[in-house]
Amino acid sequence: MKYSKYHALGNDYLVIAPEDVEIELTKERIERICHRNFGVGSDGILLGPLPSQNSDFGLRIFNPDGSEAEKSGNGLRIFSRYLWDRQLVREQFSIDTLGGKVKARVADSGKSVQVEMGRVNFNSEKIPVTGEPREVIQESITVLDQTFTFCAATIGNPHCVILLPEVAPDIAYKYGSLLEVHPSFPNRTNVQFMKVIDRENIQIEIWERGAGYTLASGSSSSAAAAVAYKLGLCDSSITVHMPGGQIFIQVTDDFMVTMTGGVTKVAEGVISLEMFE
């Protein structure tokens, strides 16, 4: 089964075209493919291009635990580059995901991709977050020995954004996995620990739903930047600094987000079905 591997700031994905799927991609098989030792190794699988009624292309996004994600910012940039490499697109096109339709624009021969990610929503019923319908802004949540103040948002997939004076990987590892599955989030959640550096820069550490600690995340960058803008801590153009690199986010007054970042091609390969035995 053929695949193309790319990374976006160290957040790596395998792109598998539907015509190359030789065996049903069950939860267990996705887990095995993404496994860093027993499989190819990846932060997820992008299945496409698929037919779409409302966009140029359809895309399905799977996490390494086999769950399906509504949206993936880095995944959308990688898929856009894949379409460019296969000469299926020119500069601008649209992609349909479970989390909504996006517009993509390829630049620098595919090494940079801009995606109009859609509107960030803070409403509890949209994210979802349990409790009365409200905007989830500066609420309290407790895991282990720590009570955090958080904001929640969706850009198609759910995010829990925690503002701290300093962030580090060990905070994401210690608390991220517990917040991911906190009962406040019926669909689980991605988690970002955010430091506001100044009005144009934030730093985040990420614990992804269904993937764990990752070096970068486009939807996380979009959600965290929108929260920083919502809280009045940043202006509308924000550079998001992550261990894997930087993503540039633009937020409009009504929280439409545009994300721009790099993509790197890693490899093309063939998955042996023996791996699933």
Contact window for ligand LBFN2T5F (CB under 6 A) among 14-22, 144-152, 208-216, 230-238: 208-216
- The only residue of 74, 80, 124, 258 in contact with ligand LBFN2T5F, by rule CB under 6 A: 74
Residues shown for the chain = 277
Nearer to ligand LBFN2T5F, 56 or 70 (CB): 70
Q: Which residues contact 134 (CB under 8 A, 6 or more apart)?
A: 123, 124
Contact indicator for 220, 8 with CB cutoff of 8 Å: no
63 is in an annotated binding site: yes
Instruction: Please report the DSSP string for 131-164 in residue order.
Output: SSS-B--SEEEEETTEEEEEEEEESSSEEEEEE-
Using CB under 6 A as the binding rule, the residues of this chain from 134 to 163 that contact ligand LBFN2T5F are 157
H/E element, 69: strand 68-69
Q: Would you call 198 exposed, middle or buried from its count of C-beta atoms within 10 A (0-12, 13-18, 19+)? A: exposed
Nearer to ligand LBFN2T5F, 11 or 55 (CB): 11
Strand partners, 41: none
- The only residue of 63, 80, 154, 184 in contact with ligand LBFN2T5F, by rule CB under 6 A: 63
116 is in an annotated binding site: no
Using the rule CB under 6 A, is 42 a contact of ligand LBFN2T5F?
no
End-to-end CA distance of the chain: 15
Which has the closest alpha carbon to 215: 256, 162, 169, 174?
A: 169
252 three-state secondary structure: coil
State the minimum distance, in angstroms, from the CB of residue 98 to ligand LBFN2T5F.
10
Handedness of CA 159, 263, 117, 248 (dihedral sign): positive
State the minimum distance, in angstroms, from the CB of residue 200 to ligand LBFN2T5F.
21
Contact window for ligand LBFN2T5F (CB under 6 A) among 87-95, 125-133, 166-174, 211-219: 211-219
φ and ψ of 174, to 5 deg: -75, -40
- Site size toward ligand LBFN2T5F (CB under 6 A) is 19
- The only residue of 136, 153, 211, 227 in contact with ligand LBFN2T5F, by rule CB under 6 A: 211
State the minimum distance, in angstroms, from the CB of residue 198 to ligand LBFN2T5F.
24
Query: How is residue 15 written in tokens?
Result: 């792109």
Point out the annotated binding site. Answer: 11, 63, 73-74, 157, 190, 208-209, 218-219
Point out the annotated binding site for substrate. Answer: 11, 63, 73-74, 157, 190, 208-209, 218-219
The residue ranges that bind ligand LBFN2T5F (CB under 6 A) are 11, 44, 63, 69, 72-75, 157, 190, 208-211, 214, 217-220
